[in-house]
A = this chain, B = another copy of it.
Amino acid sequence: MKKIINRPEDYTDDMLRGIYAAHGDAVKYAAGDLRCYCTAHKTPGKVAIVTGGGTGHLPLFLGYVGEGMLDGCGVGSVFQSPSAEQIFQISKEVEAGAGVLYLYGNYTGDIMNFDMAAELCEMEDIETRSIVGADDVNSSTDPDKRRGVAGIFYMYKCAAAKAAEGGTLEEVFAAAQKAKEYTRTVGFALTPCVLPELGHANFTLEENEMAMGMGIHGEPGIWNGPVKTADEIAAESLETLLQDMPLVPEDEVALLINGLGATSVEELYILSGSVTRLLQEKGVKLYRTHVGEYATSMEMAGASISLCKIADEEMKRWLDAPVCTPFYCQK
C-alpha cells in the first residue's frame, strides 16, 4: 500500500481535520464530532438537505456541502455508513424551519441509519423526507435495488436549486425525484483500490483487464475482460444506458464523465469526446457536460458515464444554478 497517510486507523479523522483547517470559513462540525459535517452558513426558512456515506469517495459525499448545494453530511469510516446519532445531530444543527431532506446512496447500512435518524428527528418535531440515489444501471435489473453512484450529483443539484428557490420540503423532494427518474449511470474499473486499514486491494484485475459495471466499493460488475478502447467503452455504455432510458433525436441531456480516482483527466476528456460523438450521431443534444472527479473510490482507476435527460425548462434552471462549495464551484 502506497498512501500519503499517518496511522491507517486515523485516515478519516485526519482527512476531516485537514478539511476543516482548509475550509473553516465554509464548513464546521456539530456536537463536537468531526464526522458531523455541516455548512457554516445556515439559511433561515430553507429546506435543509443532508447526505452521508462512507469516506473514500471525495468529493462525494461531504464535498457537496456548501453555498447553493447541501447543508450537512454524515461522514462514515472508509466505505462505512455514518451512525444514526451523527445524522440526527447534523439534522438538528442544519434544520432551519422548513424540514430536512435526506438524500444519499442506496446502500443497506445508510438506509438503516438514515431511517433511524428520521425517527429521532420525529421525536423532536423535525420533519424529514428521504430519497436514495440508485442510478447504477448494471448493478441490478430492478431499479429499486440499484446502487447509487455519480449520478447522485444531478439529484443534489436539482434538489439544492429548488431549496435555494424557497421550495417546500415536498417540492425539494420532488426535484430530487425528477432528477432520479431521468438519470442513469454506467461505470467500469481498471484497477482496484486499497482500504487503508486492510493494506491490500480487496480484489484483483489482471494486467490488461477491466471490469464493466464494477461498483465504487469494488462490487462485482457484469463482465471482466481486456481493456477496450474509449470508443468501444462509450458505445457499449451508451447502449446499456439507452436500453434503460430511451432517447430520441432532439432530446437533450446533461452528460457527466466521472473519474474514479487514478484515471487522468486527459483520459476522461477522450472518453467524453467519444460519448459526445455517439450522442450527436443519434441526434441527441448536449445541454451541459461535466468532466472530472465527482464520485471516486480513492485511487481506483476507471470512470463512469452518467446521463441526465433534460425533463423540462425547470430542470435546466436547476442544473445551471451557480453553486460554490470548497470542492465544487459552478458559475
Contacts and interface: CB of A to CB of B under 8 A. Distances in A.
Interface of A: 2-6, 11, 14-19, 21-23, 55-56, 58-59, 67, 190-191, 193, 207-208, 210, 227, 229-231, 233, 255, 261-274, 276-277, 286, 289, 291-293, 296, 298-299, 301, 303, 324, 327, 329-331
Given A22-B289, A329-B330, 20 more contacts: A2-B207, A4-B227, A4-B233, A4-B267, A6-B270, A6-B274, A14-B274, A18-B269, A18-B272, A18-B276, A21-B273, A21-B277, A21-B286, A22-B255, A22-B269, A58-B269, A261-B262, A262-B299, A264-B298, A265-B296
A16 B276 CA distance: 13
Contacts of A19: 269, 273
Interface secondary structure of A, over-half rule? mixed
Nearest to A59: B265
Contact of A14 (B17, B233, B264, B273): B273
A18 B296 contact: no
A18 B262 contact: no
A21 B266 contact: no
Contacts of A67: 331
B18 A271 contact: yes
A208 to B, nearest CB: 7
Contacts of A324: 329, 331
B296 A299 contact: no
A289 B21 contact: yes
A208 B2 contact: yes
Nearest to A280: B21
A268 B299 CA distance: 12
User: What 6 A-B pairs have minimum CB-CB distances, sorted nearest first?
Assistant: A18-B273, A18-B269, A329-B329, A262-B262, A22-B289, A58-B265
